[in-house]
Amino acid sequence: MSERVGPPEGGPYVDGGPDVIETDGLHKMFGRTLAVEDLSLSVGRGEIFGFLGPNGAGKTTSIKMLLALVTPTGGRGLVLGKPLGDRATRARIGFLPEHFRFHDSLTGRELLRFHGRLHRLAGLPLEARIDTLLARVDLIEAADRRLRGYSKGMLQRIGLAQALINDPELVFLDEPTSGLDPLGRLLVRDMIAELRDRGTTVFLNSHLLGEVEATCDRVAFVKQGRVVHAMALREESQCVDVELRVAPLDAATLTGLAQFGTDVTQVSADVVRLRAASEDAVPAIARWLVARHLNVYALHGRRRTLEEWFLDIMGDDQRPG
């Protein structure tokens, strides 16, 4: 069982108490097929948490285990402080599945009313909530049209509205921007930001790394059914990859450069790379090199994108899913 990856001390999310999600070694087999080997993570209250991995890595199955749609074959987990599958707890959770589908003979308003009733909402409060959500997802004009006439993007937006009908404390969004045009994606991004402002925890599963980078506080990478790495984005995004060309490049210089960062690697006879904690390391390195009377031909630092992190963590043994 791997070490559980949780929020770091003083992380960027709003810490409002105990973790909203805590899992330890959750495991799922479908017959002889391993879907999730070890889901060990924790998600803090108010956090926007990104769950990343290639196709077939077990992301959707992980969400389904947390929602008790599938039963784990091993491990344990708590959601909102209660064991997986607790019915009362589900009243505090919202869920937008990947490829949201529903009875297409209903109108958008009827769909939200039906889901509201399953949350024991009724009467004027429910109708007011429906109107608010329809306006928020820009579907007021289509509210009384049947779902079979909705575009893919409209279906995704009404699905997002149903996930929020109960004003949940925790929302699972499985590929929420799938099928959305740029404006639709922007709307979802804004809604996630609003949820953060309200203190709602969001568990976001998305392939769109740019979206995740723009919205999430922290991400976990899942590979072959196992959480292999988690990191706070705003901390890690400060990191820069530094590359310099300097001569002479001897062992003493390489050792000295290690004070400015990690992963010091000599690429060629006069080129070296390292990873620094912030951009401030770049001028510091320049001053240090000049003080040692070394010839500096090039020096530049570049922030790593989430995509680079993703490719680095997943390694080159992955193939497109």
Partner 1 sequence: MMAIFTFARLTLFEARRKRILFAAILCGVAFLVVFATGVFLAWRELLRRQISFVERQGLLVMFTLAGLYAANFLSVLFAVLLPVDAVSGEIDSGVMQTLASKPVRRADVVLGKWLGHWIVVAMYLMTLSGGVLLVSRSITGFVPPSVVGAISLMLLEVTLLMTVSIAGGTRFSTVTNGIASLGFYGIAFVGGWVEQIGALGGIQSARTLGVVVSLISPADSLWRLASYNLQPAFVRDLGAVVFTSASVPTPLMVWWAGGFTLVMLVVAVRSFEKRQL
Q: Which residues bind partner 1 (CB under 8 A)?
A: 30, 64, 67, 69-71, 87-91, 93, 95, 97-103, 105-106, 110, 114-115, 117-120, 159, 162
Q: Which two tokens stand for residue 67?
A: 């929602």
Euclidean distance between CA atoms 266 and 285, whole angstroms: 16
Q: Which residues of 76-93 are buried (b: 16+ CB within 10 A; e: fewer)?
A: ebbbbeeebbbeebbebb
Please report how close the Cβ of residue 62 comes to partner 1 at its closest, in angstroms.
14
- Phi, psi (5° rounding) for residue 176? -70, -20
> Given 3-state DSSP classes, what are the helix, strand and coil percentages for the chain, each rounded to the nearest 5?
35, 30, 35
Please report how close the Cβ of residue 2 comes to partner 1 at its closest, in angstroms.
24
Q: Closer CB to partner 1, residue 148 or residue 198?
A: 148
Please report how close the Cβ of residue 231 comes to partner 1 at its closest, in angstroms.
28
Q: Closer CB to partner 1, residue 101 or residue 287?
A: 101
Q: Closer CB to partner 1, residue 122 or residue 258?
A: 122
212 touches 59 (CB < 8 A): no
Distance between terminal CA atoms of the chain?
26
Q: Closer CB to partner 1, residue 114 or residue 288?
A: 114
Query: Residue 248, preceding bond cis, omega within 30 degrees?
Result: yes
Please report how close the Cβ of residue 319 comes to partner 1 at its closest, in angstroms.
26
142 touches 150 (CB < 8 A): yes
Q: Closer CB to partner 1, residue 95 or residue 309?
A: 95
Please report how close the Cβ of residue 96 comes to partner 1 at its closest, in angstroms.
8
Please report how close the Cβ of residue 149 comes to partner 1 at its closest, in angstroms.
13
Side-chain-side CA neighbours of 228 within 13 Å: the count stands at 18
Q: Closer CB to partner 1, residue 33 or residue 268?
A: 33
Please report how close the Cβ of residue 10 comes to partner 1 at its closest, in angstroms.
33
Q: Closer CB to partner 1, residue 155 or residue 230?
A: 155
Phi-psi region of 44 (alpha: psi -120 to 50; beta: other; left: phi over 0): beta
Euclidean distance between CA atoms 236 and 213, whole angstroms: 11
Q: Is 254 helix (H, G, I), strand (E, B) or coil?
A: helix
